[in-house]
């Protein structure tokens, strides 16, 4: 069973139900991954999501990646491929990892794309979730695979292809 812990800093609109958006994006990414059993397994799998301000993300990005600037999304996976493949094996709760979104960067990117912030946040959450599930974009093959999974996950959410054609 997927459990999601969400923390939203004051920059994020508190009148919006971010819980539903986060869950929908996480489940769509899981469905398009090699580990769809994460959504329905009996073992507890926990995901942590922080909707933060740019300054908090800048600090985390500087500390963990050596880049002293905010970025749209950070992902910190806690499971390797072997652990992900064994989610149906009895055992303690699995900590999938952390996803952190920067409000100002997300808002500016959404504005530049001419889309709503929640639509762009969903894309960034799917992207971050795929990183937690072992996907990356370090080379062209990996990038193509990850992008295709993102597009399919976003289709599940009724969101069009953010990359144009795929």
Residue 99 has pLDDT above 60, yes or no: yes
Average pLDDT over residues 115-144: 94
pLDDT at 166: 45
pLDDT at 165: 58
pLDDT at 101: 98
CATH class as words, domain 2-156: alpha beta
156 vs 138: CA distance, rounded Å: 25
Domain ranges, ordered by start, for the chain: 2-156
What is the DSSP secondary-structure string of the chain? Answer: -EEEEEEE-TTS-TTS-HHHHHHHHHHHHHHTSS-GGGGT-SS-EEEEEEEE-HHHHHHHHHHHHS--S--SEEEEE---HHHHHTTTSS-SPEEEEEEEEEHHHHHHHHHHHTS-HHHHHHHHHHHHHHHHTT---SSHHHHHHHHHHHHHHHHHTT---TTS--
Determine how many CB atoms are found less than 10 A away from the CB of residue 160. 11
Tallying the residues shown for the chain, one arrives at: 166
Average pLDDT over residues 2-9: 94
Average pLDDT over residues 101-129: 96
pLDDT at 84: 86
Kindly give, in sequence order, each residue whose CB lies less than 8 Å from that of residue 124, ignoring residues fewer than 6 positions away. 72, 73, 101, 106
What pTM did the predictor assign?
A: 0.94
């Amino acid at each position: 069973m997927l459990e999601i812990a969400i923390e939203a800093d004051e920059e994020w609109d508190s009148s919006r139900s971010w819980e539903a958006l986060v869950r929908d994006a996480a489940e769509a990414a899981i469905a398009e991954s090699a580990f769809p059993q994460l959504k329905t397994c009996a073992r507890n799998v926990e995901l942590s999501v922080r909707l933060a301000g740019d300054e908090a993300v800048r600090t985390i990005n500087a500390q963990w990646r050596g880049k002293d600037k905010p970025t749209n999304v950070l992902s910190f996976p806690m499971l390797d491929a072997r652990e992900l493949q064994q989610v149906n094996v009895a055992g303690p709760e699995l900590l999938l990892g952390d996803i952190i979104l920067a409000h100002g960067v997300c808002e500016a990117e959404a504005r530049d794309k001419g889309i709503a912030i929640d639509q762009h946040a969903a894309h960034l959450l799917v992207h971050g979730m795929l990183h937690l599930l072992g996907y990356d974009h370090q080379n062209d093959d990996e990038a193509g695979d990850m992008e295709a999974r993102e597009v399919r996950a976003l289709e599940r959410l009724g969101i069009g292809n953010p990359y144009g054609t795929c």
